[in-house]
Amino acid sequence: MKIANKKVTAERLVKDALEKAKHFADYNIFTFLDEEGAIKRAREIDEKIARGEDVGRLAGVPYALKDNFLSENGETTASAHILEGFKSPVTATAVEKLEAEGAIMIGRTNLDAFAHGSSTENSYYGPTLNAFDKGRVAGGSSGGSAVAVALDIVEFATGTDTGGSIRQPASFNGIYGFKPTYGTVSRYGVVAMASSLDCIGFFTKTPEDMNLLMEVASGQDPKDMTTLPDFYNADATKKNSATRIGVIKDFDNEAVDANIREALKAKCKILKEKGFEIVELDMPTLKYALAAYYIIQPAEVASNLSRHDGVRYGFRSDDSSNLENLYENTRNEGFMSENKRRIMIGNFVLSSGFYDAYFLKAAKARTLIVKEYEEAFKKCDYILTPVSPNLAFKLGEKVNDPVAMYLEDLMSVSLNLAGVPGLAIPAGMSGEGLPVGLQIVGPRRSDRQLIEFAKELA
Ligand code: GLN
């Protein structure tokens, strides 16, 4: 991470980042560029440096903010029409922490509206293009953030991961993407998708940068009762001591792209040569993770999105002649079809006739998945797996087939259900010139050691 020093000013770094953002405008990465604000903040940092004042660990570092983080700079739209025009009166804790260390937000990035999706094609503002092939998707939902880092516009970007939204776009664009243990980084001020699954994390080019960002962002927050005591910084001297790496037997099958399977084998070979033991794992419950996720997650979505009624936030339909019209037309015109699908499914699985058959069963499956990970981590220290079954796919290929899109999340959602951390790592390129990614999974609160371990595979 470049820290502003006498050789390069914060103003120069920020102006370069803004220029690059404009140069790559056709990728549709940003929903908002804060030119004036970012340059102003950079100058303030340069002045502090000139006066010999203390500047933070991220002083002058330009970054991109996924547009579902609240901050007073620009509108927070979550790439959804229904939030258009919404200016937040509060700032997310994660943003406050980054900015207290001198990081400078240059813009807000595109996502699938309300983070519902795996390609960034569900955005009201249109899709973001893949950094390596403009005919392919960026991945999602944090597609804009991933491409902003992959194209070197910014040093890092923020993301949210409810079922893979950091790890999958990171792997589609050849960079690192980290979903921490549930509760490590405060969710306060981040547009809620599914509150029991949502995690805040980052995109970077190196494990070292990821570690620095986690040091800055982790910690208990009185504004988010689900945050954990700050184990990340408390672990500063606790070194990675992994010796056994697990691989999941079921994930080595024809349905997984050959490039990904080969990359996994190549990494296992490197690990073996370094003296690690490779352990084969049977995790039969993981096949129920996707089904459980697509019940629990929409149930929580339906509840979280009920607040968008046309009264309090952003957009309101022109046809609001009475209260019922106001609600109905605002929600109908303001939500994308994927948002509506999830609200419908969520309300269905929670309804009195179906709660036991769907929601309760999914909640039980979730407990079994938690236990299966606990058992697995008795046999190995970390697990190395694919992030998704395929490489970046073509624009338009899956967007009209929700089930095909949901299958993208086959290998990523179980981590959110279990609350365990996962780091997507770059693992080479396919013959077609597309990035191949893998993920390292660890037990809860192993975040720091997991990032440290990633250096073995860099
Ligand atoms: N692709 C998953 C979904 O659409 C995950 C999204 C996310 O992590 N925000 O639910």
Model confidence over 129-173: pLDDT tens digits? 999 999 999 999 999 999 999 999 999 999 999 999 999 999 999
pLDDT of residue 5: 53
- What is the pLDDT averaged over residues 79-99? 96
141 Cα: distance to centroid of ligand 1 (angstroms): 6
Asked if the peptide bond before residue 141 counts as cis, ω within 30 degrees of 0, the response is yes
Residue 6, class by beta-carbon neighbours within 10 Å (0-12 exposed, 13-18 middle, 19+ buried)? exposed
pLDDT tops 80 at residue 283: yes
pTM of the model: 0.97
A 10 A CB-CB count for 328 gives: 16
- If you ran DSSP here, which 8-state letter would residue 159 be given? E
204 Cα: distance to centroid of ligand 1 (angstroms): 20
Percent of the chain with pLDDT over 90: 94
- If you ran DSSP here, which 8-state letter would residue 359 be given? I
How many residues comprise the chain? 458
Residue 402, class by beta-carbon neighbours within 10 Å (0-12 exposed, 13-18 middle, 19+ buried)? middle
Question: How open is the CA angle 284-289-294, to the nearest 5 degrees?
Answer: 155
CB 204 within 8 A of CB 174: no
List pLDDT tens digits, range 312-364: 899 999 998 999 999 999 999 999 999 999 999 999 999 999 999 999 999 99
**For residue 118, which atom of ligand 1 is closest to its CA?**
1
The residue to which tokens 């001198």 are assigned: 102
**For residue 164, which atom of ligand 1 is closest to its CA?**
8
As beta bridge partners, residue 160 has 200
Backbone angles phi, psi at 183, to 5 degrees: 95, 0
A 10 A CB-CB count for 249 gives: 12
* Sign of the alpha-carbon torsion through 70, 113, 213, 35: negative
- Write out residues with Cβ below 6 Å of ligand 1: 115-118, 141, 160-165, 193, 297, 409
Half-sphere exposure of 64 (CA within 13 A, CB side): 35
Backbone angles phi, psi at 179, to 5 degrees: -105, 110
67 Cα: distance to centroid of ligand 1 (angstroms): 15
**For residue 293, which atom of ligand 1 is closest to its CA?**
10
List pLDDT tens digits, range 28-41: 999 999 999 999 99
As beta bridge partners, residue 423 has 178, 440
- Domains of the chain in sequence order: 10-234 (3.90.1300.10)
Backbone angles phi, psi at 362, to 5 degrees: -65, -40
List pLDDT tens digits, range 371-401: 999 999 999 999 999 999 999 999 999 999 9
pLDDT tops 80 at residue 412: yes
**For residue 162, which atom of ligand 1 is closest to its CA?**
8
Whether 141 is catalytic: yes
- 71: tokens are 């901050």
Whether 66 is catalytic: yes
User: Angle at which helices 361-379 and 289-304 pack, to 10 degrees?
Assistant: 130
pLDDT of residue 450: 97
Classified as helix, coil or strand, 60 is coil
Nearest CA to ligand 1 atom 2: 163
371 Cα: distance to centroid of ligand 1 (angstroms): 23
CA distance 115 to 103: 24
According to DSSP, the β-strands at 62-66 and 104-109 are parallel
CB 314 within 8 A of CB 86: yes
Average pLDDT, rounded, for the chain = 96
**Residue 238: pLDDT band with limits 50, 70, 90:** confident
Provide the strand spans (E) within 271-334. Answer: 277-281
CA distance 236 to 421: 17
Closest CA to 195 of 221, 226, 158: 226
pLDDT tops 70 at residue 3: no
CA distance 264 to 255: 15
Which of 71, 118, 123, 141 is flagged as catalytic? 141
- 443: tokens are 């037990």
